[in-house]
Each structure stands twice: as C-alpha cells, then as structure tokens.
C-alpha cells in the first residue's frame, strides 16, 4: 500500500516530484495533480523522495505526514570543516568506562541509523544490540570459554592464531583482546539475498560510528567478532544471529580515554585520475 496522496490546495504542480522519482513512475502534466499509475505502483522504491522534495509539503506516501519530517535548508547540515574534523578525529576506542550508555541515546542512534542508504532501498537490516554490560560480560565469558575449548580442540585456524591468546590474557592479566572492555555492541546484519548486503551492513556500521562519536561515545569496529564467529559458528545463536546472515559489528560505550588531536594520514590515500 503506497498511499500516495497529494494535497490539492498545497500542490503548485511544479513537477519536482515527478522529475526526481528514481523509478520514473510519478506523472504530472499541466494542471493535473501528480499521480502514480496503478499498474506501476509495484515499481516504487519507497524512497520517499517525492515527500522530501516537495517545496510545499503537499505529498504524503506510505502514510507519512510530510509535516513530521525535519525541515531542511542549505544550512541544515554540519559545515564541511566540522565533518572534516569528525572524519579525521574519530578514533578506535579500546578503553571503556564500566557503565551502561543511556538507553534513550541508544534508541535515538538506532532510529537515525534506520535512515542509512541501502541498495535498492531494500532496508532489510537487523540491528542486534547488547545494551547491558552484564549481558556483555556473559557473552564475553561464554566466548572466551568457547575459544579456550576451541584452542584445545585445534579448531582455531592458523591465520587467526592470535585469538588463542584471548582467554589466557583475560584470565591472567585482565587484558581484553577481543571485547576491549566495551559494555555494548551493535551487530548489523542483512539477508544474503539482499541486493547489496555487505555494503549495506558496512555503511550502517560506519554511520553508527560517526553518530556515536558525535554523541561523545567511543566505538571500535569489531572484526574480531567475525573471526570468532566464523571459527566457532555455534556461538552465533547466543546473540540470535542466523547462520547465513551477512554481518559486521561495532563495540561501543563511554570512552575511558580521550584523544587530543587528529592523526595525520593524508598520504595514505591513492588517488588516481581517469582520463581518455
Ligand atoms: C573492518 C574493521 C575491523 C576492525 N576490527 C577491529 C577489532 O576487532 N578490534 C580492534 O581493536 N580494532 C579493530 N579495528 C580498528 C582498526 O584497527 C583501526 O581502525 C585502525 O588501527 C586505525 O585506527 P583508528 O580507527 O583510530 O583510526 C577494525 C577496523 C576496521 C575498519
């Protein structure tokens, strides 16, 4: 049900909705209201561009009221200088305070994250959350136990040999190689038959990192979880992750450290120009 409606009194027939529609299914001619032909409704990407582009908030789709959207002007976004500082200044945090993050903040971050782009606007992401440090501690202990057993049974492949160290390092020195002492984790997953599952997942995690760091939280990409779960897939059900899902994860929490300046990596990018 697209529920595409246009407020006659507001609509100026400017045609912007029709011109921007990526599926090219909105038609607006002369003094007629913009409309979607019934036989083309299935082609709608549900991207809501029509609702977003209308200068007079005349269009509703999917039952959304355009007046409930955040209004946008050219001044609405952070300045480029602010974004440059964010991208240069966000850091992997590997020391966390032993406290939970306010659930209301996590809720706001995840609601925002539901707006990240996905291939063909499929929006098939699942956000699995460990939002309680006690739950995280249980998962940490079960994982380390399984890793110790896995190491004994020679189940850790050579390329991940260093994760064998995780259980003894935690038991003997409280060094937390895998979980980095974080109280929380976000695991983003997508079905393997989504149009772009790997890209969708990585994008959502990257956006989460930037949002969370703007909120004063620390984050670190959690590739180690992938190493552990691909080595010991029997751990996936512990966090409710179906075996076939494409996924990536991020640890987060209140940082126990603070970086004072950006790093300097400008030379790291290879820039190539295409010319004919
Ligand atoms: C895909 C990916 C996976 C990562 N996995 C881990 C991880 O499991 N544990 C960890 O401590 N850091 C992890 N990192 C963090 C990188 O080591 C880190 O980004 C890099 O050292 C640069 O530091 P910076 O993020 O502070 O710029 C990962 C980063 C990426 C992009």
Give the mean pLDDT of 34-45. Answer: 96
CA 25 to chain centre: 29
Res 267 pLDDT > 90: no
Give the mean pLDDT of 258-273. Answer: 93
Same domain, 92 and 187: yes
Res 137 pLDDT > 90: yes
Six token digits for residue 17 = 């909705």
Question: Buried b vs exposed e over 121-132: b needs ≥16 C-beta within 10 Å?
Answer: ebbebeeebbbe
Same domain, 114 and 140: yes
- CA of 226 from ligand 1 middle (Å) equals 13
Give the mean pLDDT of 6-25. Answer: 97
- CA of 63 from ligand 1 middle (Å) equals 41
Res 88 pLDDT > 90: yes
Tens-digit pLDDT profile for residues 5-14: 999 999 999 9
The answer to whether 24 and 65 have CB atoms below 8 angstroms apart is no
Residue bearing the CA closest to ligand 1, atom 3: 223
User: Does residue 33 lie in a domain region?
Assistant: yes
- Distance separating alpha carbons of residues 270 and 89, to the nearest angstrom: 20
Which of 180, 224, 182, 222 minimizes the C-alpha distance to 202?
222
Residue bearing the CA closest to ligand 1, atom 14: 221
CATH for 145: 3.40.109.10
- CA of 220 from ligand 1 middle (Å) equals 6
What pLDDT is attached to residue 163? Answer: 92
Residue bearing the CA closest to ligand 1, atom 19: 92
CATH for 52: 3.30.70.20
Q: Could you give the number of structural domains in the chain?
A: 2
What pLDDT is attached to residue 44? Answer: 97
CA 23 to chain centre: 25
- Distance separating alpha carbons of residues 166 and 163, to the nearest angstrom: 5
Same domain, 23 and 136: no
Res 125 pLDDT > 90: yes
- CA of 248 from ligand 1 middle (Å) equals 12
For residue 14, give every residue at least 6 positions away whose Cβ sits within 8 Å of its Cβ, in sequence order, or none. 55
Same domain, 105 and 208: yes
Q: Which of 86, 92, 201, 222 to mutate to test the pocket of ligand 1 (most atoms within 8 A of CB)?
A: 92
What pLDDT is attached to residue 268? Answer: 86
Q: Looking at 68, 100, 119, which one is the last position of a domain?
A: 68
Tell me if 220 CB under 6 Å of ligand 1.
Answer: yes
Give the mean pLDDT of 82-96. Answer: 98
Tell me if 223 CB under 6 Å of ligand 1.
Answer: yes
- CA of 80 from ligand 1 middle (Å) equals 25
Same domain, 131 and 222: yes
What pLDDT is attached to residue 186? Answer: 98
Q: Looking at 40, 68, 96, which one is the last position of a domain?
A: 68
Q: Can you tell me whether residue 163 is helix, strand or coil?
A: helix
Tens-digit pLDDT profile for residues 175-210: 999 999 999 999 999 999 999 999 999 999 999 999
User: Does residue 44 lie in a domain region?
Assistant: yes
Which of 216, 186, 239 minimizes the C-alpha distance to 89?
216
Number of the ligand 1 atom closest to the C-alpha atom of 227: 8
Give the mean pLDDT of 212-239. Answer: 97
Tens-digit pLDDT profile for residues 146-161: 999 999 999 999 999 9
Six token digits for residue 84 = 């440059």
User: Does residue 73 lie in a domain region?
Assistant: no
User: Does residue 20 lie in a domain region?
Assistant: yes
In this structure, the strands spanning 5-6 and 26-27 are unpaired
User: Does residue 123 lie in a domain region?
Assistant: yes
User: Does residue 77 lie in a domain region?
Assistant: no
Same domain, 123 and 11: no
Same domain, 159 and 101: yes
In this structure, the strands spanning 184-190 and 59-60 are unpaired
Same domain, 177 and 121: yes
User: Does residue 118 lie in a domain region?
Assistant: yes
Q: Which of 177, 223, 230, 260 to mutate to test the pocket of ligand 1 (most atoms within 8 A of CB)?
A: 223
Domain with 9 in it? 5-68
Same domain, 223 and 173: yes
Same domain, 163 and 103: yes
Six token digits for residue 226 = 């992938």
Tell me if 88 CB under 6 Å of ligand 1.
Answer: no
**Among the listed ranges 131-135, 180-184, 206-210, 267-271, which one has the minimum average pLDDT value?**
267-271
Give the mean pLDDT of 233-257. Answer: 97
- Distance separating alpha carbons of residues 128 and 205, to the nearest angstrom: 12
Same domain, 194 and 221: yes
Q: How many CB atoms lie within 10 A of CB 276?
A: 2
User: Does residue 193 lie in a domain region?
Assistant: yes
Same domain, 92 and 227: yes
């Amino acid at each position: 049900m697209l529920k595409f409606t246009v407020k006659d009194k507001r609509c100026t027939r400017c045609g912007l909705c029709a011109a921007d529609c990526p599926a090219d299914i909105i038609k607006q001619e002369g003094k007629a209201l913009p409309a979607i032909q019934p036989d083309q409704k299935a082609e709608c990407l549900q991207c809501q561009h029509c609702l977003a582009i209308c200068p007079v908030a005349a269009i509703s789709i999917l039952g959304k009221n355009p007046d409930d959207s955040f209004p946008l002007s050219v001044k609405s976004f952070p300045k480029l200088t602010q974004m440059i500082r964010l991208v240069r200044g966000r850091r992997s945090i590997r020391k966390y305070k032993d406290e939970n993050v306010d659930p209301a903040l996590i809720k706001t971050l995840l609601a925002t994250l539901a707006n990240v782009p996905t291939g063909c606007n499929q929006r098939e992401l699942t956000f699995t959350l460990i939002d309680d440090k006690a739950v995280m501690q249980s998962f940490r202990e079960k994982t380390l136990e399984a890793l110790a057993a896995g190491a004994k049974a020679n189940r850790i492949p050579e390329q991940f040999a260093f994760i064998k160290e995780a259980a003894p390092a935690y038991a003997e020195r409280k060094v937390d190689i895998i979980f980095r002492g974080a109280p929380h984790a976000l695991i983003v997953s997508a079905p393997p038959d989504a149009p772009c599952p790997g890209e969708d997942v990585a994008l959502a995690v990257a956006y989460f990192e930037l949002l969370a760091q703007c909120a004063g939280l620390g984050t670190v990409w959690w590739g180690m979880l992938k190493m552990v779960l691909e080595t010991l897939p029997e751990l996936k059900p512990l966090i409710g992750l179906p075996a076939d899902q494409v996924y990536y994860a991020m640890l987060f929490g209140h940082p126990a450290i603070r970086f004072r300046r950006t790093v300097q990596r400008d030379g790291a990018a290879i820039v190539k120009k295409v010319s004919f």
